[in-house]
Every structure is written in C-alpha cells, then in structure tokens.
Structure 1
Amino acid sequence: MGFMLSGLMALVLLNVPIAVALGLVAMAAIVTTQGTDMLPNVALVMFEGATNFPLLAIPLFILAGAIMNASSISRRLVAFASALLGFVRGGLSMVVIGASMFFAEISGSAVAGVAALGTILIPAMQRKGYSKEFAAAICSSASSLAIIIPPSIPMILYAVMAQTSVVKMFVAGILPGIIGAVGLAVAAYIQAVRYNFPVEERFRISRVWEAAREAAWAFLLPVIILGGIFGGFVTATEGAGLAVIAALFISVVIYRELTWKDLSKAALDGGLQTAVVMLLVAASALIGTFLTEAQLPQKLAGSIASVTTNPYAVLALLNVAFLILGMFLHSAAAIILVVPIVMPLVTEVGIDPVHFGLVVTLNLAIGQQTPPVASVLIAACSIAKSDIWETTKVNLPFIGALLVVLMICTYVPAVSLALVDLFY
C-alpha cells in the first residue's frame, strides 16, 4: 500500500494526469503481485467500472449545465436573485449565493456554476466597487454549494463507490446545503458592513414579480428534476435525462435563444468534462479491484479499529485526511481513490454511509477552495483576473463558514439524516 501511494504521489508531482497515474500504479501492482497473465483483464475491468448505470447521470447533468450556460437561463436566475436580495447591504454577495443555489439544483457541478455565474456577476461586482479578490472569493465559495445540494455529481460518485443510495444522498444534502448558504450569507454580510459595500437596489415587489415571471420556466427545471427523483417517479439517472430535455425545451422552444452553434459548443464542453471524470472512474475501478483482492481496505480498517472504535474519533481522523487530500486532489479523484479504501472502516465502527457521504462531500467542497489545486477557486480567479493567494486570504471567512457546517454535520448526524429518516 505504501509503495502504491508513493508511486501515485510521485507521478502526480510530475504532472502526470491523475487518471493515468492511477492506471499505471494499478497495472504495476497487478503485474508485481499476479504476473502479466492478468493484464488482458485490465480493459474489461475498466470498461465495466465506467458503465455502471448510476454513472450515466454524470454526463447528462454536465450537459444540462452546459446548455444553461449557453442560453439565457443563468441570466434570468441572476436577475430574480438580484430583485429578491439586492436590497441587503452588500446585496450582490447575496445575489451570488442565491443564484448559485438555483444553478446547483440543476447542474450539480461547482465548476459549471462558477463558469456560468462568475462571467455575469464578477464583472458586475467590480463595477459596483467590490474588489476583484472579494468577487472571486464569494463566487467560488457559493458555487461549491453544488457539491452538497442535490443533484450533486460528487454525491453520485460517492454513492456508486460506497454502494449506497443516490436518492438518499440527495435528500441528505438538502439541510446542509441550506445551512451552508446561510453561513456564507452571514459571512458576506459581516464583510459588507465592515467594508461598506453598496446596496444593489431597493426592494420592490413589482420588480420581484417581473423577474419571477421572466424566470418562471427556469424555475421549472429543479421542480422537474428533484420532484421526479424525490417523488419516486424517476431514478437519478432518468432525472438527469429529464434535465437535458427540459433545458433544451426551455432554451429552444420557450426562450428561443439557443442556436445550433451554441448547442454544439455546449455538447463539446460537456463531453470534455465527462471524459475527464469517466477516465478517472475507469482507472479507479482497476485500482479498486486490486485493493479488494488484496484485502488492503480491510487490513487498514482493522489497524485503525485496534486503536479506536469510537465513531466520532474515526470521523475526526477522516476529516483531517480528506481536508488534506482536498488540497491536492480534485473532488472526483479523492472520492474515487479514498472512499473504497475507508468504507470497511466506516462500516466496522457503525457510521451510517449516508452520513459519511455528507462529511466527505463537505470536506471536498472546502478542498475546492484551498490551493494548490482548488479547481473552483482557480476558475473564479481566472474570470476575475485576480491572484489566487490574495483571493484565498479574502476567502478565509467563507472557508470558515463551510468548516462550521462541516463540524455540525459531522457531530450532529441528525442534520444529515433527519430528512432521510423522515422519508425512508
């Protein structure tokens, strides 16, 4: 196990793509322990790992988000959030949080959220007198809510790797997502008062009604997706298909703003994002098969359980591990690499897999804000043209708010499991 991790880290430090590094390490381990006769099985294991039915939801949700980016759906959501929340001191910060929650309920992707909303809101914030670092920080942190708000793509990955219910994971993310948004809003308001940020516009019910009327069809998207999934009418994968169809229908038939050129670009962007994730999944299936056959996860679980079987102590250790991993690995890579290894330990000490899934995804939401990897923060900084380290300093209060939510969800399991217990 130590040699595998050392080899993996060495390849990553050499800028070898993580998926390729995982595949190389797995094949080297297989050849070393089982001989070259096992190599013909490599392609079959990778193919079977990447064709798991729930994973089909990932490219579909990514495509739905890309279609939203290419049409006016994002702009209409921003306009509604501005009319509803713009009267608060530092109102554009609240607009970012509100719009990010709406977008997260449709795309499930933090990177898609910051790309769609950041291009609209970061320049607007700079024109109103916000620093580019603050604009990038709030857009980045708010977009990371997509990791815990359903339909979250990292949640789908976790559910597949942990062999638990995708729908239960989605339900469990509702309360933590709302608490996270409130925490970010409080941190943003404190900053707004401290630096005397402007009020965006006075509250007018007529303006709210007008913006709501223009965005009415966009509001139907989360109703169709989440209503269908939580109502038991469709699976998460089928819900992702509905998301694509609904996004296309609204963009082309209702708003009439999506051209063939826009659609082809959205499909290409979605295909590229999907390829990155699915290659990671395929490589992880290979290394997961080897680890299972060697019973390394069970040995790790036994060694830690011999020290402590207290679930809260184990959760504390795993929190530290995931916070550190989040600094160096993308969320998909961290889930794929680590979750299969630690699940035997989680099961042995009696931690609910759904509860643990929320802990994992919250850790990785924070990891997307902490350099050097910080994929969401980097995307926001590239839009704002701000320095990543200066932006990180400004982002610390928002990271702190997410850490508070992580501690609440870790040590008060009812926050994650209350709705799951109610419905299931």
Structure 2
Amino acid sequence: MNSHAVAMPAPDLPASGLTAAAHRIEQTVGRIVEAVAAIVLVAEILILGAGVIARYVLHAPLVWSDELASILFLWLSMLGAAIALRRGEHMRMTGVVARVSPAVRALLEAVATTAAIAFLLLILPHALDYASEERFIVTPALEIASAWRAAAIPTGIALMLLAAVFRLVRLHALKPVLLAIALTAALLMVFWLAGPVLKPLGRLNLVVFFVGVVGLNVFAGVPIAFAFALATFGYLGLTTSTPMLVMVGRLDEGMSHLVLLAVPLFIFLGALIGMTGMAAAMIQWLSALLGHVRGGLSYVLIGAMYLVSGISGSKIADMAAIAPVLFPEMQARGAKPGDLVALLAATGAQTETIPPSIVLITIGSVTGVSIAALFTGGMLPALVLGLGLCSVVWWRYRNEDLSHVRRPTWREVGRLGLVALPAIALPFVIRLAVVEGVATATEVSTIGIAYSVIAGLLIYRQFDWRRLPAMLVETAALTGAIVFIIGCATAMAWGLTQSGFSQKLAELMAAIPGGAWGFLAVSIVTFIILGSILEGIPAIVLFGPLLFPIARQAGVHEVHYAMVVIFAMGIGLFAPPFGVGYYGACAISKINPDEGLRYIWGYVLALLLGLVAVAAIPWFSIGFL
C-alpha cells in the first residue's frame, strides 16, 4: 500500500466432485479476468503514453486521452479488486488471526469471506441501479454514455462475489464455512431487526458502526475495505434515509480521482525496475562504495531503500528487490538475522514519504494538497529518519571485524557507478519533473516506463518478455486492492462528515491544549495506532479530509502535517506486535518474526526521535517549497 497486502490462505482442493468442478470454473473465469485486466492496463499505458507524446512532442494535446484513460482506470480497478480477492491479497489485519487456535483461525478465515459476500450481495442491486442512471449522462470529450464507465462497478462487484463464493468452496472443512455463514446471517438479521431501535440513538450510532462494526471486522481479519463498507452501508441504511445509490456514488468518486491514474503506472514501473536489473545495479554500486566500512551493508540497505522506495507502490516489492541481494553477504559477515529483518522493517517506515509514494499521491487526491509540494517536502524528512537509523547501525557495528573484506578500487567503484548511473538517475528525474511542474505524476510515470523498457533492452540487456503477463496481472491486483479501499474509505468518510462527526472532531481537536504542538502530538499518537490497525492508505483516506482542514486552522502547514502523519502511520505499520509491514519484512527475509523483536526497538526509538525532530522543525518539510 504504499499499500501492504496480506494473503488469506486458500487450501489445496480435493480433486473430485463439486469442489473439483468449482475449481475448474474458477480457474477459467480467473484467467479470463486476469487477461482482460492485463489488456486494459496495456491500453491504459499506451493511451497515456500517446497523450504525453501528443502534448510534449507534437504540441497537439489529445482532448479525449485523459477521459478514456479515466474510464479504463475504473475498469482496471474493479477487475483488479476481483483478482486481489481471488488471490486473497486485499489488505487486512492478521495480528489476532495469527494468534488463535487452528479451529478458531479456520472459522475467522471463513468469516472474512462471508462478510465480504454479505456486503457484495447488499450493494450489487444498488450498483446496477447506479450504472443504469448513468446512461443519461454523456461524457464531454468522447460523447458516450457514462454508463460505459459506471458499468465497471457492478461488473467488478459481481466478479468479486464469484471469487468470494469460490473461496468458500475451496476451504477444507465444511463446518467452519457453515458456521461462518450462519454467524454472518445472524448478525445481519440482528442489525436489521434493531434498525428501529438504532435510529433514535443519533450520533451514538457512530460508535456502534464506525467503532464497533469496523473494529469487530478488522480484528476478525475481514479485509479492511469490506470492514469500512459494511459499517458505512449499515449506518446509512439503518439509521438514515440516504438512498444507497449515494454510497455507490461515493465509491465511484473515491476511485475516480484523476491523480490516482498514476498508481498502476508507478506499480508497473517498480516491477520493471526490478526485472530489468536497474535495482541490482544501484545496490552493487552502493555496496562497492560503502561495503568495506563497519556496518557498510546496513548503510547500503538504508540507501537502497531510499533510492527505490515509493516507485513500486508496495513496500513489500521494494523490500523484495533489495533484501535477497544484500542479506546473504550481510549474514556471511556475521550480521544477526533478527537485526537484518528489524532494519529492513525500519527502512520501510523511514521511506514512506519518498516520492513517488502512493501514500503521497493518495493524500493529494483526497485532501487537495499539491502533489508537487508533497514530492518536494518528502525527501528531507526521510533523510532525517535515515540518519537516525544510521546512528543505530554505527553503534551496533562499531566493532565489526572487516579484516577479511576486500576494499574495491576507486576504478571499480567508478565503473559500477557508471553502470548504475541510468538506474540512479531515474528516481530523481521522476521526482524533479513533478516538483518543477514539467509533467504531472501520471505523465512522468508513463515516461518512466518507456525509459525503463529502453534501459532494460539496450543498456542492461535484461528484459524477460515472459515475465510481462505476470507483472501486468500483479499490477492490476495491487491497483485494485489499493483503489477499492480508497473508494470504501471515501464512502465511510462521507458518512462521517454527513453525521456531523467532522464538526465535533474539529471542536475536540481545537480544544486540545498546546495549540499546534498539542495537535501534532495527539495526531502522532493517533496515527501510530491507526497505522498498526488500518495501515496507511485507508487511515489517510478516512481521516485526511477531516483532519487536514483542522491542521490548517491550528496553524500547521499541510505539507508539514502530511509528513508527520505519514511517518506516524509508518511506525505503527512496521512495528510489532500488530504492524503488518513488520511481518511482511519477515516473510521477504524468511526470518522468524520472534528473532527481530530483540533488535527492532532500537530502530523504532530512532524513528520516533526522528519523527519528533520532523514535527518540531517544520523547515525539514517545507523549507524547499
């Protein structure tokens, strides 16, 4: 996420009977959906690329390109959401699920699926009505019915429903599935019958639905998007007279921001950087430059994450590009596995603000803050936290024995630097182009894809065409998981705003003693907790539109506030015991999470001190705006 997807396990299938037939149908439908999503993604890249060429080379902008790309983007997001659900890659909190007995875990896994099915069944008729209503609206450039775009929502919902049903069929035991179905149906019935009792409760319903229902679902392992959606549907349907078409409209609005067009492109660009050997070239040069000093490879890890972070759209992908290259040599030098995974997780939190971070793009889309300003403000604060991590590395490795390590000659360092230069230049060119206003984030991501393809084919001579289909499908799935959760969180944020919650929250935050400093302190604590439970993107979409205006009223610059809350969420996300990012780092490293617990707290302390410095000195965030 900066999104982190945690898979819901799907057991192997018995090879006979109804389950085997369902498996064959699922595989067929799944391959078709994946193929269509891959084709849509390629079309998206080509259309946006044609728009860039027409605008900057031919000086004859295509007036229809952005509109067509926006239509295809909604289809890509909904198809990707269906693929992600089939693969079990929607974001979820697994801290509780992983700690219960196998029997309870099996039940919770089934409940996670039946809860998703419940929402999809409830919303599907309204999504169909919404698409039907859109047929009366004509798009301005292409002059076609908007229903062609809106039809993506009920289509994606139907495909997700099919994928969820197949997930139930694929579970080993019948008893947990039946129990989960009965439990979900019973809870829905209880809430429906309680509707007349709930409606007079007024704002107390906010606690019932947006604390109780969301919390129960999140801790039970239900994907966060569906936890938000169920709570919002229940609140609007049972306690207000709001038509459910409005909720579908808010889903559509959240998933249709033009800024979000950059999300799949940067994700695919990150995959290209790894596949073409550009990431490996950067790491090899940094290793030659710093590998001979005490703790040198740890510095390389911090520097490499700084360079490649944010481009792929997934911290897991960033880690997967770096850890396998560095960890074997680090362990050969005597580094403890627990220290390695702890540092890897810490760099995940440290680099959350480095552009083109998907979290920065999301903040820009939901709060209206300038993307260029966020890209400018994100570089130096990440460096401050990186220096904090480096200080911990220096202390821990101050007595490292490097007598057996050969120091490369300056000629070798220069040669590797020359090889790595095209790869090193790309992240800075991307950031500079957006910051200087040369191109939008979407346009520069398209240029970056073309650059990476050329570099892979002509410079690094690493371009495995056979990997492209899988990369396209993975990009679609991650895009769907990210954008669908943005849509659900947008609907939930709208429901909170309509309830008057935002006004009460503003009054409460304004009453915090200490002015801007008190507001920042409370925000840090709040977002560390939210980051450990909800992850970065849903927390930002949910609370960003509510808190950023309050920050401005408190005298906190919006870019400064963005950096503070992103780091706070990052610390919550990558710190045990609940932080999903920490367990993702362990999975990438193939290291037991228990081994990292002894070492990670020193890095967390450094991150907290760095966060305090960034919060206390706004210049780090806004000094170059």
Common fold: TM-score over 0.5? yes
Q: Does 2:126 align with 1:126?
A: no
Give the equivalent residue in structure 2 for 1:28: 234
CA contact (8 A) 1:106 1:243 kept: no
Amino acid of the structure 2 residue aligned with 1:81: L
CA contact (8 A) 1:298 1:345 kept: no
Q: State the Cα distance separating 1:307 from its structure 2 match.
A: 4.3
Amino acid of the structure 1 residue aligned with 2:584: A
Q: State the Cα distance separating 1:167 from its structure 2 match.
A: 1.0
CA contact (8 A) 1:88 1:200 kept: no
CA contact (8 A) 1:63 1:267 kept: yes
- 2 CA distance for matches of 1:116 and 1:273? 17
Give the equivalent residue in structure 2 for 1:271: 476
1:193 match: secondary structure: coil
Offset from partner CA, 1:90-129 (integer Å, 9 cap, x none): 2111111121111126445422211111122222322322
Equivalences for residues 235-250 of structure 1 within 5 A: 235-250=440-455
CA contact (8 A) 1:23 1:287 kept: yes
- 2 CA distance for matches of 1:44 and 1:230? 32
Tell me: CA distance 1:226–1:244, structure 2 relative to 1, closer, same or farther (3 Å): same
Amino acid of the structure 2 residue aligned with 1:39: M
- 1 CA distance for matches of 2:369 and 2:302? 30
Correspondence for 1:104 among 303, 309, 312: 309
**RCO higher in 1 or 2 (8 Å CA, sep ≥ 6)?**
1
- 1 CA distance for matches of 2:403 and 2:557? 45
Q: Does 2:383 align with 1:178?
A: yes
Correspondence for 1:399 among 604, 620, 625: 604
Q: Does 2:350 align with 1:145?
A: yes
Q: State the Cα distance separating 1:419 from its structure 2 match.
A: 0.8
- 1 CA distance for matches of 2:399 and 2:533? 33
Offset from partner CA, 1:299-355 (integer Å, 9 cap, x none): 111123234361101111111111122222221122122222323432332221111
- Greater Cα offset, 339-348 or 22-31: 339-348
- Greater Cα offset, 193-202 or 303-312: 193-202
Tell me: CA distance 1:361–1:201, structure 2 relative to 1, closer, same or farther (3 Å): farther
CA contact (8 A) 2:528 2:568 kept: yes
Give the equivalent residue in structure 2 for 1:6: 212
- 2 CA distance for matches of 1:287 and 1:106? 28
Q: State the Cα distance separating 1:203 from its structure 2 match.
A: 4.9
Tell me: CA distance 1:319–1:91, structure 2 relative to 1, closer, same or farther (3 Å): same
Q: State the Cα distance separating 1:15 from its structure 2 match.
A: 1.1
CA contact (8 A) 2:349 2:573 kept: yes
CA contact (8 A) 2:228 2:492 kept: yes
Provide TM-score, normalisation by structure 2: 0.64
CA contact (8 A) 2:348 2:570 kept: no
Q: Does 2:223 align with 1:17?
A: yes
Q: State the Cα distance separating 1:188 from its structure 2 match.
A: 0.8
Aligned residues: 419
What root-mean-square deviation, in Å, do the aligned CA atoms of Structure 1 and Structure 2 show? 2.0
Amino acid of the structure 2 residue aligned with 1:299: K
Q: Does 2:256 align with 1:89?
A: no
Offset from partner CA, 1:200-250 (integer Å, 9 cap, x none): 542521121111122122123123312211221101222222222222222
1:40 match: secondary structure: helix
CA contact (8 A) 1:60 1:240 kept: yes
Correspondence for 2:590 among 354, 362, 385: 385
Give the equivalent residue in structure 2 for 1:40: 245
Q: Does 2:421 align with 1:232?
A: no
Offset from partner CA, 1:162-190 (integer Å, 9 cap, x none): 22111101111121122222221121111
- 1 CA distance for matches of 2:222 and 2:584? 21
2:309 match: secondary structure: helix
Identity over the aligned pairs, expressed in percent?
Answer: 28
Correspondence for 1:325 among 506, 515, 530: 530
- Greater Cα offset, 231-240 or 15-24: 231-240
- 2 CA distance for matches of 1:192 and 1:234? 43
Provide TM-score, normalisation by structure 1: 0.93
Give the equivalent residue in structure 2 for 1:222: 427
Amino acid of the structure 1 residue aligned with 2:344: C
Give the equivalent residue in structure 1 for 2:395: 190
- 1 CA distance for matches of 2:438 and 2:483? 27
- 2 CA distance for matches of 1:21 and 1:82? 44
CA contact (8 A) 2:293 2:402 kept: no
Give the equivalent residue in structure 1 for 2:321: 116
Tell me: CA distance 1:170–1:200, structure 2 relative to 1, closer, same or farther (3 Å): farther
Q: State the Cα distance separating 1:196 from its structure 2 match.
A: 5.0
- 1 CA distance for matches of 2:207 and 2:323? 41
- 2 CA distance for matches of 1:210 and 1:31? 65
Give the equivalent residue in structure 2 for 1:336: 541
Equivalences for residues 290-329 of structure 1 within 5 A: 290-308=495-513, 310-329=515-534
- 2 CA distance for matches of 1:289 and 1:391? 40
Tell me: CA distance 1:390–1:303, structure 2 relative to 1, closer, same or farther (3 Å): same
- 2 CA distance for matches of 1:93 and 1:134? 10
Larger radius of gyration: 2
2:398 match: secondary structure: helix
Give the equivalent residue in structure 1 for 2:114: none
CA contact (8 A) 1:91 1:198 kept: no
Give the equivalent residue in structure 2 for 1:59: 264
Tell me: CA distance 1:105–1:157, structure 2 relative to 1, closer, same or farther (3 Å): closer
Amino acid of the structure 1 residue aligned with 2:234: A
Correspondence for 2:560 among 355, 358, 363: 355
- Greater Cα offset, 383-392 or 353-362: 383-392
